[in-house]
Amino acid sequence: MTEPQKGVAAIVAACSIWGLATLYYHFLAQVPALEMMAHRTVWTALSFGLLLGAQGRLGEVVALWQGPERRRVMLSSALIGVNWFLFIWAVTSGHAVEASLGYYIYPLMSAVIGYLIFHEKPAPMQIVAVVLAGCAVVVLTVGLGVAPWIALALAGSFAAYAAVKKGMATGAVVSVMVEVLLISPLAAVVLIWAGRGQGRIWLVSA
């Protein structure tokens, strides 16, 4: 496969997994969103830590934290934390359609950021695709009949996250590992509090 083909395949796979995650969180709607977010953070850190440990790459985690990209990964950690929580809360609170709309808006925001901030020049067919996607978003928004604040917040936080991560020398797995490690102390507090108050620990995988 060529690099563009690999990119398309990765996008299709990621969107498919992300779409199915909506059903997963819906079936766990009885668990508070903050607690689910905490579980997602802790189990992501554990699974990524095991993966990087098996690959002998844990040193890259330390190098990223001590390197020049430290501030960028701190900002991306905050942005992805907000995005994950909003998505889980939206799905479990009956706003799944609005959450889905956010990920229709996200590519449009990314295209605008790419043009305005990174000075990327879209090809004519890319402009046509953006215009068509924009029309689809308008139709969907009108069909919802509500102000798309949830969708805009999800799209904005994820587009900002992508912009912060753009051009980072560190690989995705290592950078996400640092991000979830930064969120993990708060996640641990949430889980301890939930376990003490309700006498149970729900296992919600990443």
pLDDT digits (tens, 9 = 90+) for 142-200: 887 877 899 999 999 999 999 999 989 888 999 999 999 999 999 999 998 887 755 45
pLDDT over 80 at 205, yes or no: no
**54-95 pLDDT per residue, tens:** 999 999 999 999 999 999 999 999 999 999 999 999 999 989
Residue 14 in this model has a pLDDT that exceeds 90: no
> What integer pLDDT is reported at residue 88 of this predicted model?
93
Whole-number Å distance between alpha carbons of 28 and 203: 10
Quick one: pLDDT at residue 125? Answer: 87
pTM assigned to the model? 0.85
Question: Would you list the domain boundaries of the chain?
Answer: 33-69+172-206, 75-167
State how far the Cα of 171 lies from the Cα of 159, in Å rounded to an integer: 18
CA distance 62 to 59: 5
What angle (nearest 5°) sits at the alpha carbon of residue 115, between those of residues 164 and 100? Answer: 65
Q: In whole numbers, what is the pLDDT of the chain averaged over residues?
A: 88
